Structure 1
Amino acid sequence: MPTLDELKLKIEQLNKQHHIEILKILKKNNTVTLNENKSGVYVNLTLLPEQSITDISNYVKYIEEQEATLSSLETQKLDFKNTFFNEKEDKE
């Protein structure tokens, strides 16, 4: 499991949609204090229960795995596209 600093950096790099999902994870635990202002929602990670940290860490890991899979599939798709269309153009 990543350290709290590593987890914080990973969360900060995520987009708004993922931030909302992380907030939903945090709201499942009623003991978590969320501080909200016009700049956003702030959470003191050092005060979070271990289960919440584990859930967030698992979610971030899931996102990273999905993005890696999508990137790989996009690369493969481009390879197929280039191969198919290059061969098709060569035949014409």
Structure 2
Amino acid sequence: MTDAKESTTPRRDPKLDEQELHDAEALPGIVANRFLIASTRNGIRIAFGEQPRTTSPTHMRAAVFINAEDAAALGKLLLKHFAPKAEGQEEPQGE
């Protein structure tokens, strides 16, 4: 089985247990290359869409709503995993 992955939820243990990891990896994945973020006083809504070609319309595929604290944690997690790649360093392994 794969190494434990890090969760973005700051209110609990950052390590996913085996069942949470299995459940997360079992979800179907969608292609997304367009994103829309809308802020409210309660958090943010992130919508994910796919635009196959620059001349094609965007097809919205999914959306999530997360509170501000979880949004900040998600941002930090994304930066942590992609900043080394952008700088030409090795990508972090599962945590």
Provide the TM-score with structure 2 as the length reference.
0.32
Greater strand content: 2
Computing the radius of gyration over CA atoms, which structure comes out larger, 1 or 2? 1
TM-score (norm 1): 0.33
